[in-house]
Amino acid sequence: GTFGQRNHQKSVTSYSTNVSSKLKIMQKKETDIVIIGTGLAGLALAKYISEQNPNLQITLLSKTSIDECNTYYAQGGIAVVHDFIKDSYQQHIEDTLLAGKGICDKKVVEHVITEAPARLEKLIQWGVELDKNNSGDLDLGLEGGHSQNRIVHHKDKTGLEIETKLIQVVQKLANVTIKTSFFATDLLLENQKCIGIIGFDSKSEVTAIVAKATVLATGGSGQVFDVTSNPFVSTGDGVAMAHRAGAKLNKMKYIQFHPTALYEPDKSQAFLITEAIRGFGAHILNHKMERFVFQYHPDGELATRDIVSKAISDQMKKENFKLVWLDVRHLPSETFKTKFPKVYTYCSKNGIDVSKDLIPIAPAAHYQCGGIVVDEIGATSIQQLYAIGECSYTGLHGANRLASNSLLEAIVYAHDLAKNLVVNIDVIKNSTAKLTPIYYKNIYHDEILQFRNQLQHFMKYDSLYSNNKKTEKVFEMVNEMSKEFNIKFKKYNSHPFLCETYNLIQTAEIILKDSLPKRNRIKSAKKDKTTP
C-alpha cells in the first residue's frame, strides 16, 4: 500500500503493546460530527458534508493506516446503468431483487440504482479515473447475476483508485481532522442518545470524542472467518459496538462467500480473483477438469455468488480437496494482462503463469449483507447514531448482494446522510455529561491470539451453510468460548487488540444466532442470559 504497513500473517497485530502505564487521564475532544472509518463510506460522507457546510467540524477516524480497509482491495468495480440503449434501471433493479432472494427492500433498491449515475459523476469529479473503451466511453464489465455489462472499473484495482483519490480530496479539507491508528472501543450514550465515542488514540491515550452526530462507517467482519478476502481491520467493530449500545441489527446470517479467492491457507487475507475475470470468460474446473457449476444453474460461472460458492463447496467435499481450479488459459493473454494487472502480477509472483497454469481457488468470507439497521438516510434505531457502508443494513442486498452493488450503496448513503445532517445538526448541542473513563492495560498478546485462532477455526462456510445441526454445534462452541473470554478478561475494552477480539467473538455469536432455526434462537436466548 501507499500509506502504511500491511499485516497479512495471523500472528501479526498492528497495535502497539509497549505502553506500560495503567491509568491515563482521559482526553476529551469535541467535534460536530465524528465518522468512524475512512473507506469509501466515511471519506465520501466527509467530502459531501464539507461541500455543503465547510464550517462543520468533522473528526474522521481510522483504525490503522488511513487506506487500510475493504474499499482499498475492491477489484471488480461499481454497478451503474450507463448504456441506456441496451440496459435500463429496471433490469438492474430486477437483477438486484433476484440475487437478494425476495427479501430486499424494493424502494431502497429503486432509489440506490436510480441515484447511481449522479453519484458516479461526482466520483469522477473528485478525480477517480475509470477505464474507457475504444470509442472513449466508459468500459462496462460483466459480473455474476448481472443481465447486462454495467460494471465501471479501473482495471482490477477500482478500490485502490477510489481510496487513494478520495484520501487526497479529504486531506485538503480544512474542517476535517483525520486521526489514524485510533481504535474506537465503544459508543457513548446519554439518555438513549449517542453522544460520541470512546477509544484509544495512536499513543494509546484514552480519548473520548463528543459529537452531535456519530457515524459508523466501520466496514465488514470477514475476519470472523477462517478464510476471508477482507483485510486484518475488518473485524465487525461497528456492529459489535452498536449491538452493545442496544441498536437494532438485521440479517446478520447472510454472510456472502466470494467463490473465487486464491487458495492461500496461511494468509489472514486471501487474495481475491475478481469475478470480472469470470465475466471475461474464465471457467471453474474440478479435479476431473469438468465445468461443474452448470449442474447448479444455467448461468454456470456467472450465476450469483451464493450459487457458485455452494457448487464449489459441494465439489470440494465430493472430491475431498480443499480447492478447485480457475482456468483462464483459453483467454487472450495480452488483453488479460492489460485488464487484470493486479491478478496477473500477484499470480506470477506466486509462481502461477495464468496463460499456462490453473489457478487454485476456494470460497472466502467476503461481505456482510446484514448489519446495523438504518432508515433511508442512514439513521439507526439510536438517536444521533448513523451507519453507512458495509456495516449498515439498508435493505438493498437482502439475502445475497449482487456483485459491485456495495461501493454503490456506500456512496449513495454517504450522499443522502450528508444532505440530511447539514440541515439538522444545528439544533443539537454537544453533551456536557461527565464521562466515565476506561483504562488501558498491557496484554499478553499470544493469549488473546489463541482465542482468535480458535474462533476463526470454528467459523467456516459449513458452519453457516451445511445444516442446522452443524450451526447449532458451532454456536454452542463459540458461546462457550465467549463465556471463557469474559471470565478471563473482564475488561474487554482495556486494550485495542483485546477489544477487537471480543468484537470478533460477539459478531460471530450474532451471525450464528441469526443462522439458527427460529425455535433454537428462542431457546438459546432463554438459556443464556449473558449473551448480549
Catalytic site includes residue 305 = yes
Compute the least distance from the CB of residue 290 to ligand SIN, in Å.
23
Which one of the spans 164-172, 242-250, 273-281, 524-532 is the region binding ligand SIN (CB under 6 A)? 273-281
Which one of the spans 56-64, 111-119, 166-174, 272-280 is the region binding ligand SIN (CB under 6 A)? 272-280
Q: Which does 96 bind (CB under 5 to 8 A by kind): ligand SIN, ligand FAD, none?
A: none
- Enter the C-alpha cell of residue 230: 477482507
Buried b (16+ CB within 10 A) or exposed e, 476-504: ebbbebbeebeeebeebbbbbbbbbbbbb
Is the CB of residue 362 less than 8 Å from the CB of residue 323? Answer: yes
Residue 40 contacts ligand FAD per CB under 6 A:
yes
Compute the least distance from the CB of residue 364 to ligand SIN, in Å.
11
Half-sphere exposure in the Cβ direction for 523 (13 Å, CA): 8
Within residues 475-504, the interface with ligand FAD by CB under 6 A covers none
Distance CA 515, CA 501 (A): 21
The site map against ligand FAD for 233-252 (x = CB under 6 A) is xx--x---------------
Which one of the spans 60-68, 239-247, 284-292, 400-408 is the region binding ligand SIN (CB under 6 A)? 400-408
Residue 404 contacts ligand SIN per CB under 6 A:
yes
Which one of the spans 270-278, 316-324, 325-333, 350-358 is the region binding ligand SIN (CB under 6 A)? 270-278
Q: Give Cα 349 to chain centroid, integer Å.
A: 27
Owner of C-alpha cell 454456470: 300
Q: Which does 42 bind (CB under 5 to 8 A by kind): ligand SIN, ligand FAD, none?
A: ligand FAD
Residue 75 contacts ligand SIN per CB under 6 A:
yes
Q: Which does 398 bind (CB under 5 to 8 A by kind): ligand SIN, ligand FAD, none?
A: none
Compute the least distance from the CB of residue 21 to ligand SIN, in Å.
43
Distance CA 516, CA 343 (A): 37
Compute the least distance from the CB of residue 164 to ligand FAD, in Å.
13
How far is it between the farthest Cα atoms of the chain? 68
Sheet of strand 183-190, all strands in order from the earlier edge strand to the far edge: 27-30, 206-210, 193-200, 183-190
| DSSP classification of residue 259 | E
Of 165, 158, 151, 172, the closest CA to residue 83 belongs to 151
Compute the least distance from the CB of residue 323 to ligand FAD, in Å.
18
Residue 406 contacts ligand FAD per CB under 6 A:
yes
Compute the least distance from the CB of residue 106 to ligand SIN, in Å.
21
**Candidate list 59, 230, 400, 479; residue touching ligand FAD; CB under 6 A:** 230
- Indicate the residue among 49 and 233 with the shorter CB distance to ligand FAD: 233
The site map against ligand FAD for 367-396 (x = CB under 6 A) is x---------------------xx------
Q: How far is CA 13 from CA 17, 88, 205, in A?
A: 9, 46, 18
Residue 14 contacts ligand SIN per CB under 6 A:
no
Of 271, 295, 288, the closest CA to residue 327 belongs to 288
Binding residues for ligand SIN, total number by CB under 6 A: 8
Q: Which does 300 bind (CB under 5 to 8 A by kind): ligand SIN, ligand FAD, none?
A: none
What pairing do the DSSP bridges indicate for beta strands 27-30 and 206-210? parallel
Distance CA 376, CA 379 (A): 7
Compute the least distance from the CB of residue 257 to ligand SIN, in Å.
11
**Candidate list 275, 301, 390, 500; residue touching ligand SIN; CB under 6 A:** 275
Residue 274 contacts ligand SIN per CB under 6 A:
yes
**Candidate list 33, 58, 77, 474; residue touching ligand FAD; CB under 6 A:** 77
Per-position DSSP letters for 181-228, written without gaps between them: S-EEEEEEEETTEEEEEEEE-TT--EEEEE-SEEEE-----GGGSSSB
Residue nearest to ligand SIN (CB): 76
Residue 307 contacts ligand SIN per CB under 6 A:
no
Residue 362 contacts ligand FAD per CB under 6 A:
no
Q: Which does 282 bind (CB under 5 to 8 A by kind): ligand SIN, ligand FAD, none?
A: none
Is the CB of residue 434 less than 8 Å from the CB of residue 418? Answer: no
Residue nearest to ligand FAD (CB): 39
Residue 403 contacts ligand SIN per CB under 6 A:
yes
Amino acid (one-letter) located at 277: I
Which one of the spans 66-74, 247-255, 314-322, 471-479 is the region binding ligand FAD (CB under 6 A)? 66-74
How many residues comprise the chain?
532
Binding residues for ligand FAD, total number by CB under 6 A: 43
Half-sphere exposure in the Cβ direction for 190 (13 Å, CA): 16
Residue 276 contacts ligand SIN per CB under 6 A:
yes
- Indicate the residue among 32 and 68 with the shorter CB distance to ligand FAD: 68
End-to-end alpha carbon distance in the chain: 37
| DSSP classification of residue 365 | E
Q: Give Cα 163 to chain centroid, integer Å.
A: 14
Catalytic residue, candidates 244, 278, 305, 401: 305
- Enter the C-alpha cell of residue 98: 433476484
Is the CB of residue 263 less than 8 Å from the CB of residue 362? Answer: yes
Non-local (6+) Cβ contacts of 72 within 8 A are 1, 39, 159, 160, 163, 231
Owner of C-alpha cell 500509506: 3
Q: Which residues bind ligand FAD (CB under 6 A)?
A: 36-42, 61-64, 69-71, 73-78, 158-159, 182-184, 217-220, 229-230, 233-234, 237, 272, 367, 389-390, 404-407, 410
What positions carry a catalytic annotation? 305
Contacts to ligand SIN by CB under 6 A: 75-76, 274-276, 403-404, 406
